Amino acid sequence: GRATATPSEAPLSAEEGHWSYPASALRSPAARPGAGGEPDERRSLRRWPASARCGRAAAATEVSAPRAVPPPPPKPEFQPPGRTHASGEHTPAGQAAPASGAGRNRSRAAGKTYGGRDRRQRTTSWVLSPRSPGGRRQGGRLSPGERRRLPGRKERAWGARPGEDSASRPAERLPERDSGRYYDYIFDFNKSRLNPAKHNSAAELKQLLVSVVLESECDLYPSITSDESYTLAVEGPVAFLKANRVWGVLRGLETFSQLIYQDSYGTFTVNESNIIDSPRFPHRGILIDTARHFLPIKTILKTLDAMAFNKFNVLHWHIVDDQSFPYQSVAFPELSNKGSYSLSHVYTPNDVRTVIEYARLRGIRVIPEFDSPGHTQSWGKGQKNLLTPCYNGPKQSGTFGPINPILNSTYCFLSQFFKEVSTMFPDQFVHLGGDEVEFTCWESNPEVIAFMKKAGFGRDFQRLQSFYIQKLLGIVSTLNKGAIVWQEVFDDHAKLNPGTVVQVWKNEMYHVTQAAVTAAGFPVILSAPWYLDWISYGQDWRNYYKVDPLDFDGSQEQKKLVIGGEACLWGEYVDATNLTPRLWYGI
Amino acid sequence: MVAFRYHASSAAQPGCSVLDEAFQRYRDLLFSSSWWQPPERTRKQHAPEKSSLVILVSTPGCNELPSLESGENYTLTINDDHCFLLSETVWGALRGLETFSQLVWRSPEGTFFINKTEIEDFPRFPHRGLLLDTSRHYLPLTSILDTLDVMAYNKFNVFHWHLVDDSSFPYDSFTFPELTRKGSYDPATHIYTAQDVKEVIEYARLRGIRVLAEFDTPGHTLSWGPGAPGLLTPCYSGSHPTGTFGPVNPILNSTYEFMSAFFLEVSSVFPDFYLHLGGDEVDFTCWKSNPDIQSFMKKQGFGNDFKQLESFYVQTLLNIVSAYDKGYVVWQEVFDNKVKVRPDTIIQVWREETPVRYTKEMELITGAGFRALLSAPWYLNHIAYGPDWREVYMVEPLDFKGSPQQKALVIGGEACMWGEYVDSTNLAPRLWPRAGAVAERLWSSELVTSVDFAFKRLTRFRCELLRRGVQAQPLSVGYCEQEFEET
């Protein structure tokens, strides 16, 4: 085994240092959906982790054994892949978690904490040496021969495959670009010292070898069932990052990038590590609110970057609300023409596509929220007769309330509108809102009252709201989309299709709500304890951290229905000036 | 509106650095902004002579430093005949230029306008400060300079620089270079060199801002220890030193020799008449544990009253600093603990409720004939959800029982941005526009109290700050034509 007892900070000056796929992986059809088969190759690729899987327990003591790969994820019905592992890898708290957000990192060598900076004396370190900046070249394709002479930029190495044209092979572009990003994160020459000292030791990490075991899903969008597990084995001269899908590779690259540090001589160093990692929950989101304040695209993209650093995988885009309607609809352009703050405070279809693709490249889903029937004041400006006219006695007051639930035209509009939304946003889910519906305007409107009577709702406006929501849910399900709703929709006893996801946001007794929703068999996203816009003095991140999303009374089956959570940064007092520090410092 | 001109009979003329540079700054802010297209000269309302603002400063003084006594009043006249800015001092002219820059607006066609107006303006309080803490977190020089810019937009005139504290010692002393070498977070990157300090002082001067340096002792000095062996009190556990240290050791001659040399340097590096000597939150536990201090106390007849020991230290220090012809500001504990201080000492009130409510404290301090600075209700580092600037704005500094003579002793106040949770990542949005509420309270008449009106103006001002590139956070829902753009 590796002599971990001699803590030589073994430098690896990577004369040839670059990261690449193993040659076999490059040619493997497994990494390219739809490509012709080379069955032998594929089998060999699969065999490798498979053997490791069998020998997992033994591998814990044998450092030079092949790396283990977690079993393929189950086909979850809202079951997080990580949590259905039979092998019971629950990591005790306090075990080395070298990467922030890496929930279940696990050192394979028993009793040894790899990558933990505090125990550096017990670890073996490997040095990564990027080439000098002079060797950098933007783009351009190289022959395999060149590639060996020009190490350093793995993106170059990866772009060097003969016959590969990135444009025609979108399937291969995702990790390729990604490696470029991570190369910069790690070896950013502006921030790092330029000439790391030469080490004499031979312990040198030359490559990070990335392999995708199953179909890569390179050209797909991430989804609720995406497998994000990966294994990372850092041992010179070649480090291995293996995952079933590209999404796991992305998470693993992030971890890898967080393992590397510069020692006091400026040498890039990484501790020998073996990490088996997968997320506890498949839905790990951030809510941004672009209605109270418009957020420039740049800010959203920067947020996506930081989300990837934290292994978040869902951007919940609360895109419109009472205050403004910045989403530029193709079918109903007047909505944003009249409902946005200004014509420069608008997200064009191109902007939306930019966000979605940028997110996809980081393994992040984009779930749009078009909240209705409440929180829709801004819709009224560009869509006549959509909102309920409020009455003052027998006369219309000139103000408007929630969406008018009693008109056919409403549902006709919603059908068309959500048809557009469902094509614009590729994710399986759309968030339909449904929170905080104010009944006073409905109550004031004689036509609404008459409708209520006819429908037999009496004075129960919750039933009217449920009536609306159910029709909307029906529309959305015909578009083959899943729906997420705020908890009121459940609280008000609307009849929900199975699989409708309920987002719990009310802080009071949220454990009880979680229990009730899961007892009724609906999946839950927890947000109540994570309203990041509620700032206070000091380290409030500690309170966020202490929350256990499964801390409620319920059966195992119920707990499995908690698919994750979201940190919400509502926009009443947040815009591009303070979003970043509020999101990422928790102070 | 294209030019700023000196009036022929102005005491300040071309070559006056303070105003020459201010003209350039405001020209850039008003007309060279990348977001504002140059105006199309189509409209004829403006007579050609109105294309310049004429400035008349009645007393010379371009190369001096602003002081507590500097006049800042000005008169701005915009009418059919002329645009005219009259002030006694260059500092007043700076305030007038700022006002002028906020009055100019631009039509959708790109033409710049200014409404006819006649403004006679002067500050209510002469000390309108902002405290930055560069010890808990280091602030890069650019953060400090940027803050000075925005302070000028808000007519603040004192930068209270809380340079060092327990956490780190970034001030690079040439008398005691070990202080920074051992006491800063990183002696290569996280320090303020003599050159940096000079730059800050000159940058501030050009904006009519004083730099009030604080070297807080005897508490809040842990970072001094590594670079000044023997300076801090060794704490004891029973009869053994624990290896930890407490406040500055007040019983050694070497302490005062050190302070003499150190403050001699500080007095020359920071040209303002006043120094801030701190004196807050002295923790007595370490002193209590130390047998040498116990026997010193006995010898001096202090008994068990460590406040007397603190007073002993502070008085000795004040005598040292007085000898350097400096005035001083201290935190309220120095007054609370009945340290005998010079009658011209300025006491800064920072505690909201203890030992008494801050209004009572103001009453006591001014009752004893000392000048007072108010900070207690203006700790901007204490953040909360929602429009907390309203409470900040509603504070009335003179709202305490006292004679007119007492009230006249309140020379102003300071907004404090302590650095426990603040560094260059969040400083600007935390400060602005909230600190603007303090600025207005300290500048405007006590009759200007409408929070709703202030909200409208502050909201508009926030958009103006965004246009000027300041990362000022929103006060409520809404938008600005020019939003903040990430770089």
Provide the 3-class DSSP secondary structure of residue A503.
Answer: strand
Is residue B38 in a domain?
A: no
Annotated catalytic residue: which of B281, B353, B391, B446?
B281
CA distance B417 to chain A (A): 12
Whether B95 and B137 map to the same domain: the answer is no
Q: Do residue A581 and residue B426 have CB atoms under 8 angstroms apart?
A: yes
Angle at A68 between CA A65 and CA A73, to 5 degrees: 170
- Which of chain B's residues have a Cβ under 8 Å away from the Cβ of A571? 477
* pLDDT cut 70: percent of chain A above it: 66
Mutate to test the interface with B, among A293, A540, A575, A584 (most CBs of B within 10 A): A575
Tell me the pLDDT tens digit for each residue of A7-43. Answer: 333 333 333 333 444 433 333 333 333 333 333 333 2
* B46: amino acid identity, one letter: H
Is residue B469 in a domain?
A: no
Position A421 scores a pLDDT of 98
CA atoms of B173 and B68, how far apart (whole Å):
26
Q: Is B466 on the interface with A (CB under 8 A)?
A: yes
Domains and their CATH numbers in chain A: 174-183+202-278 (3.30.379.10), 283-586 (3.20.20.80)
Position A182 scores a pLDDT of 86
Q: Do residue B471 and residue A578 have CB atoms under 8 angstroms apart?
A: yes
Position A197 scores a pLDDT of 52
Is residue B466 in a domain?
A: no
b (16+ CB within 10 A) / e for A138-152:
eeeebeeeebeebbb
Surface-to-core class of residue B182, CB atoms within 10 Å of its CB (0-12 exposed, 13-18 middle, 19+ buried) = middle
Q: Compute the average pLDDT of residues B173-187.
A: 98
Look at A536 and A158; give whichever has higher pLDDT. Answer: A536
Q: Is B471 on the interface with A (CB under 8 A)?
A: yes
Q: Compute the average pLDDT of residues B359-374.
A: 98
**Torsions phi, psi of B106, nearest 5?**
-130, 135
Position A139 scores a pLDDT of 30
- Which of chain B's residues have a Cβ under 8 Å away from the Cβ of A577? 428-429, 466, 471-474, 484
Position A118 scores a pLDDT of 33
Tell me the pLDDT tens digit for each residue of B420-442. Answer: 999 999 999 999 999 999 999 99
Tell me the pLDDT tens digit for each residue of A492-534. Answer: 988 999 999 999 999 999 999 999 999 999 999 999 999 999 9
Position A165 scores a pLDDT of 31
Instruction: Using the predicted structure, report yes or no on whether residue A87 has a pLDDT greater than 60.
Output: no
CA atoms of B204 and B270, how far apart (whole Å):
12
Instruction: Using the predicted structure, report yes or no on whether residue A72 has a pLDDT greater than 70.
Output: no
* Residue A572 vs residues A40, A259, A324, A337, B476: alpha-carbon distances, Å: 58, 37, 12, 22, 6
Question: Shortest CB distance from A345 goes to which of B386, B421, B479?
Answer: B479
Select from A55, A52, A50, A62 the least CA-distant residue to A108.
A62
- DSSP symbol at B417: E
Whether B229 and B308 map to the same domain: the answer is yes
Is the CB of residue B288 less than 8 Å from the CB of residue B225? no
* Residue B199 vs residues B16, B194, B269: alpha-carbon distances, Å: 18, 9, 11
Whether B293 and B307 map to the same domain: the answer is yes
Q: Compute the average pLDDT of residues B402-412.
A: 98
Provide the 3-class DSSP secondary structure of residue B414.
Answer: strand
* pLDDT cut 70: percent of chain B above it: 96
Q: Do residue B421 and residue A575 have CB atoms under 8 angstroms apart?
A: no
**Torsions phi, psi of A526, nearest 5?**
-95, 130
Instruction: Using the predicted structure, report yes or no on whether residue B32 has a pLDDT greater than 80.
Output: no
- Which of chain A's residues have a Cβ under 8 Å away from the Cβ of B424? none
Is the CB of residue B212 less than 8 Å from the CB of residue B273? no
Q: Compute the average pLDDT of residues B187-202.
A: 97
CA atoms of A68 and A276, how far apart (whole Å):
8
Whether B198 and B70 map to the same domain: the answer is no
Question: Shortest CB distance from A537 goes to which of B382, B473, B478?
Answer: B382
Helix and strand numbers, DSSP H then E, in chain B: 16, 17
Whether B136 and B117 map to the same domain: the answer is no
Least confident of A169-183, A513-527, B137-151, B162-176: A169-183
* B324: amino acid identity, one letter: Y
Count Cβ atoms below 10 Å from residue B268 Cβ, excluding itself.
9
Is residue B474 in a domain?
A: no
Select from B415, B410, B465 the least CA-distant residue to B438.
B415
**The two three-digit tokens of residue A510, written as one number:** 């949220």
Whether B198 and B320 map to the same domain: the answer is yes
b (16+ CB within 10 A) / e for B26-41:
beebbeeeeeeeebee
Q: How many Cα atoms within 13 Å fall on the side-chain side of residue B486?
A: 16
Position B3 scores a pLDDT of 83
**The two three-digit tokens of residue B212, written as one number:** 């009030």
Q: Compute the average pLDDT of residues B49-72.
A: 91
Helix and strand numbers, DSSP H then E, in chain A: 20, 18
Split at pLDDT 50, 70, 90, the class of A191 is low
Whether B201 and B273 map to the same domain: the answer is yes
- DSSP symbol at A221: P
Position A68 scores a pLDDT of 35
Range of the domain at B19: 3-31+50-121
Position A195 scores a pLDDT of 52
CA atoms of A450 and A452, how far apart (whole Å):
5
Tell me the pLDDT tens digit for each residue of A143-159. Answer: 233 333 333 333 222 22
CA distance A314 to chain B (A): 22
Is the CB of residue B173 less than 8 Å from the CB of residue B180? yes
Position B5 scores a pLDDT of 93
Whether B95 and B140 map to the same domain: the answer is no
Whether B57 and B171 map to the same domain: the answer is no
* Residue B275 vs residues A507, B157, B194, B450: alpha-carbon distances, Å: 49, 15, 17, 35
- Which of B101, B121, B141 terminates a domain? The answer is B121
CA A333 to chain centre: 30
Tell me the pLDDT tens digit for each residue of A371-399. Answer: 999 999 999 999 999 999 999 999 999 99
Q: Which residues of A are catalytic?
A: 436
Least confident of A51-60, A550-559, B319-328: A51-60
Instruction: Using the predicted structure, report yes or no on whether residue B289 has a pLDDT greater than 90.
Output: yes
- Which of chain A's residues have a Cβ under 8 Å away from the Cβ of B380? none
- Which of chain A's residues have a Cβ under 8 Å away from the Cβ of B472? 577
Q: Work out how many domains chain B is built from and give that number.
A: 2
Q: Is A438 on the interface with B (CB under 8 A)?
A: no
Three-state secondary structure of B230-258: CCEEEEEECCEEEEEEEEECCCCHHHHHH
Split at pLDDT 50, 70, 90, the class of B41 is low
Instruction: List beta partners, residue A274.
Output: A233
CA atoms of A450 and B483, how far apart (whole Å):
46
- Which of chain B's residues have a Cβ under 8 Å away from the Cβ of A293? 474, 477-479
Contacts for B484 with CB less than 8 Å, ≥ 6 apart: A296, A575, A576, A577, B466, B471, B472
Position A156 scores a pLDDT of 26
How far the first Cα of chain B sits from its last, in Å, is 31
Look at A153 and B404; give whichever has higher pLDDT. Answer: B404
Placement of tokens 């759309």 in the chain? A430
Position A393 scores a pLDDT of 92
Angle at B417 between CA B414 and CA B419, to 5 degrees: 145
Position A325 scores a pLDDT of 98
Is residue B328 in a domain?
A: yes
CA atoms of A324 and A317, how far apart (whole Å):
14
Whether B308 and B384 map to the same domain: the answer is yes
- Which of B69, B96, B121 terminates a domain? The answer is B121
CA atoms of A249 and A277, how far apart (whole Å):
11
CA dihedral for B154, B160, B164, B166, sign (positive or negative): negative
Q: At what angle do helices B451-467 and B434-443 cross, to 10 degrees?
A: 120
Split at pLDDT 50, 70, 90, the class of A198 is low
Backbone angle region of B478, left / alpha / beta, with phi > 0 → left and psi within -120 to 50 → alpha: left
Instruction: Using the predicted structure, report yes or no on whether residue B214 has a pLDDT greater than 90.
Output: yes
Instruction: Find the Cα–Cα–Cα–Cα dihedral B167, B173, B178, B181, rounded to 10°.
Output: 60
Tell me the pLDDT tens digit for each residue of A280-292. Answer: 999 999 999 999 9
Tell me the pLDDT tens digit for each residue of B89-98. Answer: 999 999 999 9
* Residue A98 vs residues A114, A203, A232, A237, B35: alpha-carbon distances, Å: 8, 21, 12, 21, 45
Is the CB of residue B62 less than 8 Å from the CB of residue B90? yes
Is the CB of residue A85 less than 8 Å from the CB of residue A67? no
Is residue B475 in a domain?
A: no
Split at pLDDT 50, 70, 90, the class of A201 is low
CATH number, domain containing residue B307? 3.20.20.80
Position A188 scores a pLDDT of 66
CATH number, domain containing residue B27? 3.30.379.10
Least confident of A48-62, A350-364, B283-297, B326-340: A48-62
Position A128 scores a pLDDT of 56
Is residue B112 in a domain?
A: yes
Provide the 3-class DSSP secondary structure of residue B222.
Answer: helix
- Which of B105, B121, B137 terminates a domain? The answer is B121
Split at pLDDT 50, 70, 90, the class of A126 is low
Look at B33 and B296; give whichever has higher pLDDT. Answer: B296
Is residue B477 in a domain?
A: no
DSSP sequence for A44-102: HHHHHHHHHHHTHHHHTT-TTSPPP-PPPPP--SS--GGGG-TT--PPPTTS---STT-
Least confident of A43-52, A365-374, B80-89, B386-395: A43-52
CA atoms of B232 and A521, how far apart (whole Å):
65
CA atoms of A281 and A279, how far apart (whole Å):
5
Whether B148 and B229 map to the same domain: the answer is yes
Instruction: List beta partners, residue A392.
Output: A395
Surface-to-core class of residue B124, CB atoms within 10 Å of its CB (0-12 exposed, 13-18 middle, 19+ buried) = middle
Whether B23 and B164 map to the same domain: the answer is no
Question: Shortest CB distance from B485 goes to which of A293, A298, A323?
Answer: A298
Question: Shortest CB distance from A576 goes to which of B384, B387, B483?
Answer: B483
Position A199 scores a pLDDT of 55
Contacts for B142 with CB less than 8 Å, ≥ 6 apart: B424
